[in-house]
């Protein structure tokens, strides 16, 4: 059964140098209250794994502004000019990963797989430093599984055993990340008693959840 803590208490799990997955897509489904708390803690040299870095000063962008990120693994950074500037200045090491590849690397970690083969990126800069192989006359890249120390995810509803329900498109990367990190922290709008969530509606089983915290001013 997960522990229910305040944002301040639960963010003490994140230390300098931690690798942190953060759910969301352009702040939709991003646990913004957890991110804001983390940005204010003064942590440094985080490896952040996410789809994007949100907007300047919003969503994951709060961590960029706070100089908390040393390495970033993401699909795109174009919506946050500050991320690009800090990359050019050498303040953040950025690894750009095709979105489908990023999702599948995370899924592989959650499923206990070492990686997967994909034609995406063959013959481009994406292939640099990666193993290539041929199968049935086609070239593929070997993409390795991607896990993290901690996942910060957002759900709409949880019961006290940590079973989660996401709301519409806010689901995005959150279920994958909940399976791929050693510690999973969930920002949730509401916590209900066991039995109040239809088992068929559960999207992430409570076995994957370590901590719950109630969010405020959440939009889905």
Mean pLDDT by 10 residues, the chain (220 residues): 95 96 96 97 98 94 98 96 97 97 98 98 95 96 99 98 97 98 98 97 98 75
Please give the structure tokens belonging to residue 14. 């994140």
This prediction's pTM? 0.95
pLDDT for the residue 170: 95
Domain ranges (residues) in the chain: 3-98+147-214, 99-144
What is the spatial distance between Cα 132 and Cα 39, in angstroms, rounded to a whole number?
39
Q: Are 108 and 114 in contact (CB under 8 A)?
A: yes
pLDDT for the residue 217: 60
pLDDT for the residue 90: 97
pLDDT for the residue 100: 98
Q: Distance between the two ends of the chain, CA-based, in angstroms?
A: 24
Structural class in CATH, domain 3-98+147-214: alpha beta
- What beta strand segments (E) does the chain contain? 3-4, 19-22, 46-49, 69-74, 93-96, 115-118, 132-135, 138-144, 148-159, 164-165, 181-192, 211-214
pLDDT for the residue 218: 54
pLDDT for the residue 215: 85
pLDDT for the residue 220: 42
């Amino acid at each position: 059964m997960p522990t229910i803590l305040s944002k301040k208490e639960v963010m003490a799990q994140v230390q300098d140098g931690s690798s942190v997955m953060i759910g969301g897509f352009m702040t939709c489904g991003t646990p913004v209250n957890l991110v804001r708390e983390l940005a204010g803690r003064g942590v440094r040299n985080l490896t952040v794994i996410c789809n994007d870095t949100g907007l300047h000063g919003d969503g994951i962008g709060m961590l960029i502004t706070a100089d908390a990120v040393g390495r970033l693994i993401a699909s795109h950074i174009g919506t946050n000019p500050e991320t690009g500037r800090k990359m050019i200045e050498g303040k953040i090491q950025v690894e750009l990963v095709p979105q489908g590849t990023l999702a599948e690397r995370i899924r592989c970690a959650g499923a206990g797989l070492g990686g997967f083969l994909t034609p995406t990126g063959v013959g481009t800069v994406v292939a640099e430093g990666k193993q290539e192989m041929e199968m049935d006359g086609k070239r593929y890249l070997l993409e390795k599984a991607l896990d993290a120390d901690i996942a910060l995810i957002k759900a709409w509803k949880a019961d006290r055993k940590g079973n989660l329900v996401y709301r519409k498109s806010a689901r995005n990367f959150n279920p994958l990340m909940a399976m791929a990190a050693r510690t999973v922290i969930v920002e949730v709008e509401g916590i209900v008693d066991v039995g109040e969530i239809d088992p068929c509606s559960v999207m992430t089983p409570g076995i994957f959840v370590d901590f719950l915290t109630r969010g405020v001013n959440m939009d889905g």
